Structure 1
Amino acid sequence: MRILITGGAGFIGSHLAEAYLENGDEVYIIDDLSTGSLDNVAHLKQKGAYHRRLFVHIDTIMNRDIMMELVGTCEVVHHLAAAVGVEYILNNPMESITTNIQGTEIVLELCNKFKKRVLIASTSEVYGKHTHAPLIETDNIIYGPSSKFRWSYAASKLMDEFMSLAYFRTTGLQVTVARLFNTVGPRQTGSYGMVIPRLVGQALRSEPLTIYGDGNQTRTFTDVKDVVWAFMRMVEIEEAFGQVFNVGGREEVSILALAQRILAATGSSSELQFIPYDQAFGKDFEDMQRRVPGIEKINALIGFDPKTSLDAILTRVVNYMRKRTDGV
């Protein structure tokens, strides 16, 4: 089978590409490297027969001509290309909105034209300012004012979901939407505000671990291997078409407790440093105080129930980042 992964040189996309290659499929990647890196897929080009089944295109999904060729070639499309990370979005608001909305529009239009199955990666950010748990797919959406550009990402991804469901309802496009909750693992970078690699990197360098706000905000984290497993199954199941699914973990943890566990996992003596939100991100930022998914819907569909504990995730990330730090 031929698989197209937009954003395939990114953190999740590279793991998804590797899984499909291990499965014997041909994988086509398009990535503009704005947040992805060729380092994420370099080992795949060198590994056995993988290089004969991996095709990497450095280009933007806004290039309709190359997208038409790639979508027409492949049977399945995983659309992961998007502006990601709070810091990147706040620093590049116009580019983020354009990529997330117009890019997804191109993907959906071409998948509909060629009648291809497509999975759209969305985000838990779309839920907005809820404080209850768990969050379920039918919850209302609560955003802050448009002057707070943090919500532009959430709103743009929600528009992606609306477009996806509109295509399904009007044309029967075989599209599935996955709302991701803090996917983590090796190859993720802290450069764009991702909390675990950022804190692990600080701990390994014996720098203060910077915690934004008071650290009482809570999250769940999901190992990238569990997310890849879910993506590969969701895109194959007819009952998933036209549906939105949470994809996340169950173990809720505060950012303060997360930092303390990272200190234990790394053996670091770094101090904790608390930084007010406005000092870290400026006036355009508001945080979500709690983000915990209900995963009963996806569990009923494919049996998704991630078993990778937070401690196991941290061990994998620490080992990966320590090897890179040591030059291994």
Structure 2
Amino acid sequence: MGSELIYRGHDSQLATDSYSPKPIKPWFAVTQPIRYMLREQRLVFVLVGIAIATLFFTVIPTSYPASYGGARGHVAISDSLSYYPVETYQRAYNPRVGFGAVNSGGKIPLGLKRKGLRIVVTGGAGFVGSHLVDRLIARGDSVIVVDNFFTGRKENVMHHFGNPNFELIRHDVVEPLLLEVDQIYHLACPASPVHYKFNPVKTIKTNVVGTLNMLGLAKRVGARFLLTSTSEVYGDPLQHPQKETYWGNVNPIGVRSCYDEGKRTAETLTMDYHRGAGVEVRIARIFNTYGPRMCIDDGRVVSNFVAQALRKEPLTVYGDGKQTRSFQFVSDLVEGLMRLMEGEHVGPFNLGNPGEFTMLELAQVVQETIDPNAKIEFRPNTEDDPHKRKPDISRAKELLGWEPKVSLRKGLPKMVKDFRQRIFGDHKEGGAGATPDTTSSA
């Protein structure tokens, strides 16, 4: 007989009581986080962490690399800020991240220094370029000078040798150049008739191919580009004084056209890159400039007169001597170039001294300064020599707040001192490298 399992209901007890925790008291829910923090000194660790974080962000300033992702670190602000001489120059720059970023402007808090820019100056060993380099380095920028030394001289910049913010590259801008910079001052080109007529094909290649190369560099790295053009774009002007809106009267097949038309083409390229590729550009049209470090025998009228008077030679006046020029001292020009670069206006801008002198009047000023007994010798006029040249600088006054400060009678003695030292080796007069006042002028 099979066995049979019998379920005994009384052998198992039904669970009549279920577990329920004690009800949470209201005051305990509020104090529980506090009790947790107080246990095992957790509050101490939290306070210490807060203190360390505060110290870190207070003591260590936030900075951006000067070459963030291959781009420049800073960009200049609006020219609404005042412009000061180099001794007190403090311009604010904003961090710039990535290519094509925009600037918003602002002033640097008192006691903080502006971050220097990385700037290339083509033709930086020349007359104007070397004075511009002096000013840029004095305000704390890192400067790369690019020069092939056709008219530039190492002596003009050798006082910067050993400065970690200064670099010198022997290079012809007709060949491409790869750099990472924030700004490009493009001054490279022979600027006197003697030099640019020596090899006219090379001159126009420098103006066209060299400018193309520098504009291409500006496009690649997002740099701001400043072209130093010339008053020669006006040719033999039919308008007097010359405004920036005047299109000029230039001989396209003359002996000076390698320079005149070369600069006009350089302006065209600059504006095409601005409109077509979005490159930030500035254009300066430079009028006759003089000062220390000019080439002694470059054929320009001021350097000719000064060198001839020092050597006791006759002052050579071409034509009847009634043709006029306007002469600005080099430090005035450098200030104008820097204001233009830091401002927000493309240009072109006339940069020159509106004080107008005939060649005979200039010869008389040189006589008064150097040798009252110097003789004047008349010679036939040169081809395509403009009869009148005087800038209208009202646009630069209004938009850049710039106008020249140094008169011819005040600036000429400084140039004479430099020329006397270089011609005769009179170190008592001071050398070119030691001249504190600041390659392209017409």
Cα deviation for residue 136 of structure 1 reads: 0.3
In structure 2, the partner of 1:281 is none
Cα deviation for residue 268 of structure 1 reads: 4.6
> 2:366, 2:239 → 1: CA distance?
26
Q: Describe the shift of the 1:276–1:103 C-alpha distance in structure 2 as closer, same or farther (beyond 3 A).
A: same
Q: Is the 8 A contact 1:31 1:59 kept in 2?
A: yes
Q: Say which structure is richer in helix.
A: 1
Identify which of 247, 251, 255 aligns with 2:355. Answer: 251
> 1:44, 1:12 → 2: CA distance?
16
In structure 2, the partner of 1:123 is 230
In structure 2, the partner of 1:282 is none
Identify which of 145, 148, 163 aligns with 1:29. Answer: 145
Secondary structure in 2 matching 1:21: helix
Range moving further from structure 2, 318-327 or 21-30: 318-327
Q: Is the 8 A contact 1:5 1:78 kept in 2?
A: yes
Is 2:197 aligned against 1:90? yes
**Structure 1 runs not aligned, ≥5 long:** 279-284
Letter in 2 for 1:18: D
Cα deviation for residue 191 of structure 1 reads: 2.3
> 1:236, 1:132 → 2: CA distance?
30
Provide the TM-score with structure 1 as the length reference.
0.91
Cα deviation for residue 61 of structure 1 reads: 1.1
Cα deviation for residue 305 of structure 1 reads: 1.2
> 1:115, 1:155 → 2: CA distance?
28
Cα deviation for residue 225 of structure 1 reads: 0.6
> 2:271, 2:252 → 1: CA distance?
25
**Structure 2 runs not aligned, ≥5 long:** 1-116, 428-442
Range moving further from structure 2, 200-209 or 318-327: 318-327
In structure 1, the partner of 2:325 is 219
Q: Describe the shift of the 1:232–1:145 C-alpha distance in structure 2 as closer, same or farther (beyond 3 A).
A: closer
Q: Is the 8 A contact 1:206 1:269 kept in 2?
A: no
Range moving further from structure 2, 314-323 or 157-166: 314-323
> 1:198, 1:43 → 2: CA distance?
27
Is 2:308 aligned against 1:198? no
> 1:144, 1:168 → 2: CA distance?
27
In structure 1, the partner of 2:398 is 300
Alignment of 1:172-183 (within 5 A): 172-183=278-289
Aligned residues: 310
Identify which of 320, 338, 347 aligns with 1:232. Answer: 338
Q: Is the 8 A contact 1:131 1:291 kept in 2?
A: no
Cα deviation for residue 145 of structure 1 reads: 5.2
Provide the TM-score with structure 2 as the length reference.
0.68
Secondary structure in 1 matching 2:209: helix
> 2:193, 2:317 → 1: CA distance?
14
1:87-109 CA deviation, whole Å, 9 max, x = no partner?
A: 22222111111111110011111
1:207-238 CA deviation, whole Å, 9 max, x = no partner?
A: 11111111111000111111111111211122
In structure 2, the partner of 1:54 is 166
In structure 1, the partner of 2:259 is 153
In structure 2, the partner of 1:320 is 418
Alignment of 1:240-279 (within 5 A): 240-241=345-346, 243-277=347-381
> 1:246, 1:197 → 2: CA distance?
22
Cα deviation for residue 83 of structure 1 reads: 2.3
> 1:210, 1:267 → 2: CA distance?
15
Q: Is the 8 A contact 2:243 2:391 kept in 1?
A: yes
In structure 1, the partner of 2:128 is 12
Letter in 1 for 2:408: L
Cα deviation for residue 258 of structure 1 reads: 0.2
> 2:363, 2:208 → 1: CA distance?
34
Q: Is the 8 A contact 2:126 2:153 kept in 1?
A: yes
Is 2:178 aligned against 1:68? yes
Cα deviation for residue 113 of structure 1 reads: 1.7
Cα deviation for residue 192 of structure 1 reads: 2.3
Q: Is the 8 A contact 1:4 1:29 kept in 2?
A: yes
Cα deviation for residue 117 of structure 1 reads: 0.3
Aligned-pair identity in percent equals 36
Letter in 2 for 1:135: Q
Cα deviation for residue 131 of structure 1 reads: 4.2
Q: Is the 8 A contact 1:83 1:100 kept in 2?
A: no
> 1:269, 1:43 → 2: CA distance?
37
Identify which of 93, 99, 103 aligns with 2:210. Answer: 103
> 1:174, 1:8 → 2: CA distance?
21
> 1:325, 1:254 → 2: CA distance?
27
Secondary structure in 1 matching 2:251: coil
Secondary structure in 2 matching 1:291: coil
Is 2:154 aligned against 1:38? yes
Identify which of 277, 294, 305 aligns with 1:188. Answer: 294
